[in-house]
Chain A
C-alpha cells in the first residue's frame, strides 16, 4: 500500500507540473551579456583593450630572415591537428621563409607537451606555435621560451595571455551564432520555426553559443520562431530520441533542428532521415565534418558550421611571421594573413580567424577530422 500512495503522490506532482507548464521563452542559454553581430556581416566594433600578451626578451632582429619554427599541437595523429599542421605548412611554403616542423605528443597530455617544448627551447628555435593542453600548466614553459627570445604564438587552445605573444582565436561565440542562425534562416525561411538539441543547459560553450544565437535571432531574424531547447547529454541515442520527440510534438510546424554538438547534430540528422523528412526539416549544426559526411552526401544536411582548421594553422603561421618581423606589434588592430586577408585583433592580444567555415557537399570531403 505504501507504494500505491507514493506513486499516487508522484503522479500527482507530475500532473501538477503538467498543469502549470507554460510556454517558456527560455532558450537554454546562459545569463551572461550577449553581443550579437551586425545582421549584414559588418565586423563588430572592437572595444580597444590594452595588449596583455607577453614579450620575448632580447629577441634578435628576425625581419625577413628564414625562421626555424616548431608547431606543437595538443597531440598528433588525429585529423583535426593534421589539418592545422597542413595549414601551417601551406603558409610556410607560400612565404618561403619559414622552416616548420610539427612535433606533438601522441596523446593529449600536458606533461608530454611541456617536455617537448622544453626540448625545443634547449635546441634553439626562432618561433613556437602551440595549442595548449592546459592553459595554466603550460604557461611557465612558454614564459621560459619568451625569456629565451623565442616568438610564441598559440592557436586553437589558449594559454594565460602573458605566457605568449598572440593567440589565434578560431571563432567567437557571436560569430558561430550568426553563422548558425543565418544558415538556418536561409534553409527554413524568415518565418520558420526551429528547435535546438544541446548537450546540457549548463555546458559552458553550448550555453554561450545558444545565448548568442537567441540574441542574434531576435535582432536579425525576429520572425523566426524558437520553439524550444532540449538536452540530450553527450548521448547519441538520446539525441536521436529527443530529435524524434521534437518532430512528433511539432509535426509539420517544425522546420529546422539545430544540433549544438558533434553528437547531437548527426543524431538529429539521422532522426530526420529515418522519418523521411529530409528536405522538409532542415538540420544545421555544429559538428565535425567526419560526423556529418553521410548526411551531407545524402543531401539531408546542407550546412555544418565550424571553423576551418587548415585556415587556423595558416593564420597562426602568418601571425608568427608578422610578430617576428615586428609588423604585428602591441596596439595594432589588424594583421595581414596571406590569402585570408586582414584579420582583426580582439581581446588585447588575440587574432580572430574570421567568420566560421560552413562545410557543405562541395567541400566536406576535403576534410578528415
Chain B
C-alpha cells in the first residue's frame, strides 16, 4: 500500500531486479493486487462450477453492474484520502438523478441533462467543502446535515413521483459500443484518469500529504483549505458522473435512492485500500472493490449460496481491511 512519504517514487525508480520490482509493486499496490486476485479466483472457481458465469453477457453484467458505484467511489476515495468523509453522496446522486431526468423530459438537449448533474454536484459539494475547510466543521457532521437536506428536499419536491418517458437519446448507459456496455468505458477511463492525476500531479499528490499529516503539509506551503474545498467539488463532479450512469440505465427514474448507497460507496473505497484514517489508498483499488462486490453478488446466485453471504463476506472484508490498516500503522510507529 502506498504511504505518503514514498508517494510518487514508483514512477521514477529504476528497476534493479525483477524480484525487487514485484516486492515494490506489492508494497505499493498490495490491496489492489489482493482484490484483483480475489476477483480472478472467483471468476475461475465459479466459472468452472457453471461456465455460464463466464459468458460475455454475464461478464458484462458483472463489470457494468456496479460501474456507477465505482465512479462515485473515485471521488469518495479522494475525500477519504484527504482525511474526510461524505455520507451524503447517496442522497446527492438521488437529487442529481431527478434533476437530470427532469431536464431530459422537459425537451432540453440531452447534453444539458448530462452536464447538469456534474456541475450541480460540484456546486452542492462546494458548500460542503467550504463548511468543512473554512468553517472547520467536521465533515461527518456537515454531510449528515446535507444528507437530511437532500433526502427531505427530494421527497418534498417530487412528492414521491417517478420520472418516465425519458428520451432514448438520453439513455447513455444502455449503449454498447463494440458489444461492451457504456458504463464499463466510463468506469475504466475515469478510474485511470483519476489514478494518474493523483499519482503524477502536484495537486493529486498533495491530497496524500494533507490526509497523512495536515500540519506538515501546511508547513510545506500546501493551501489546505482551498484544496479541501476543491476535493469536495471534484467529488461532487464524480457523483454527477455516477448519476449519469445511474439515471440512464432504466426507463424510469425513481425519487428514492438505493438504500445505503453512501455506505456501499464508502465500503468500496475502504476495501479498495483507502485508509479510513486518511493518507493512503488509490482509486484503482476502489474500482476493483466495486467490481468485486458485483462479482460476489453474481457468484452467490450462480452457486445458489444465500445472498446473506454477500453481506457477511463484505462485512468481513471491511473488518479485515481496517484491522490490517490499523495494525500496519501501529507497527510503523
Binding site for B on A (CB under 8 A): 2-4, 6-7, 10-11, 14-15, 17-18, 21-24, 77-78, 201, 228, 230-231, 233-238, 240-242, 244-249, 251, 263, 266-267, 270, 273-275, 290-291, 293-295
Q: Give the residues in chain A near B220, CB-CB below 8 Å.
A: none
Q: Are B52 and A234 in contact (CB under 8 A)?
A: no
Partner of A291, one of B68, B159, B252: B252
Q: Are B65 and A241 in contact (CB under 8 A)?
A: yes
Q: Which of B121-129, B198-206, B300-308 contacts A (4 or more CB under 8 A)?
A: B300-308
CB-nearest residue of chain A to B56: A248
In whole angstroms, how far apart are the Cα atoms of A17 and B162 in the complex? Answer: 40
Binding site for A on B (CB under 8 A): 30-31, 34, 37-38, 41-42, 45-46, 49-50, 52-53, 55, 57-58, 61, 65-66, 68, 159-162, 164-165, 174, 246, 249-252, 254, 256, 258-261, 294, 296-299, 301-305, 307, 309, 313, 316-317, 320, 324, 327
In whole angstroms, how far apart are the Cα atoms of A239 and B299 in the complex? Answer: 16
Q: Give the residues in chain B near A4, CB-CB below 8 Å.
A: 34
12 of the cross-chain contacts (CB-CB < 8 Å) are: A10-B38, A18-B299, A230-B301, A233-B260, A234-B256, A236-B250, A246-B301, A248-B58, A248-B298, A249-B58, A291-B162, A294-B164
In whole angstroms, how far apart are the Cα atoms of A291 and B161 in the complex? Answer: 10
Contact status of A245 and B164, CB under 8 A, knowing A24-B304, A235-B258? no
Q: Give the residues in chain A near B303, CB-CB below 8 Å.
A: 17-18, 21
Contact status of A248 and B327, CB under 8 A, knowing A240-B250, A295-B251? no
In whole angstroms, how far apart are the Cα atoms of A233 and B246 in the complex? Answer: 16
Q: Give the residues in chain A near B252, CB-CB below 8 Å.
A: 236, 266, 270, 291, 294
Q: Give the residues in chain B near A14, CB-CB below 8 Å.
A: 42, 45, 296, 299, 309, 313
Partner of B250, one of A23, A233, A234, A270: A270
Q: Give the residues in chain A near B61, CB-CB below 8 Å.
A: 241, 244-245, 248
Contact status of A18 and B324, CB under 8 A, knowing A235-B258, A267-B250? no
CB-nearest residue of chain A to B45: A15
CB distance from A2 to the nearest CB of B (A): 6
In whole angstroms, how far apart are the Cα atoms of A251 and B50 in the complex? Answer: 12
Q: Are B258 and A233 in contact (CB under 8 A)?
A: yes
CB distance from A324 to the nearest CB of B (A): 34
Q: Give the residues in chain A near B49, CB-CB below 8 Å.
A: 18
CB distance from A364 to the nearest CB of B (A): 12
In whole angstroms, how far apart are the Cα atoms of A270 and B37 in the complex? Answer: 32
